[in-house]
Amino acid sequence: MTLGTGAVGLTLTVASRIHIVEPQWNPSIESQAIGRALRLGQEKQVTVVRYIMKNTVEQYVQSRQSRKLQLARLGWDANSDDPEEDKLKTLMDLRSLLELPSNAP
């Protein structure tokens, strides 16, 4: 099933493997799909496999997911005493999430 259909009211505790073949721009969608198998009552170890080909849009999406999660974990925490510098860093981080690299497929 696709991540879209798997995100609606399912508990899949009989599943022990999750194969992600279509990475999503929003990493929480994948986390939610994985969580469907990691519910209370799960007795087996759950294995998650992601299929990512080199030099494809999927690889780019995965790198953006990682960056989004990294920024979310930081909580946009300001590190310096200069609010203008913090604002510039935030804008640069946002811009980096939206731009395509020059070697993008």
- Which of 5-14, 24-33, 94-103 has the largest mean confidence? 24-33
Cβ burial 44-73 (10 Å sphere, 16+ → b, else e): eebeeeeeeeeeeebebbbebbeebeeeee
Q: Domain span at residue 44?
A: 1-51
Q: What are phi and psi of 27, to 5 degrees?
A: -65, -20
- The rounded distance, in Å, linking the Cα atoms of 78 and 27 is 24
pTM value > 0.75? no
Asked whether residue 78 falls in the same domain as residue 99, the answer is yes
Q: Which of 36, 51, 66 is the last residue of a domain?
A: 51
| Mean pLDDT of all residues belonging to the chain | 75
Asked whether residue 99 falls in the same domain as residue 58, the answer is yes
- The rounded distance, in Å, linking the Cα atoms of 89 and 62 is 22
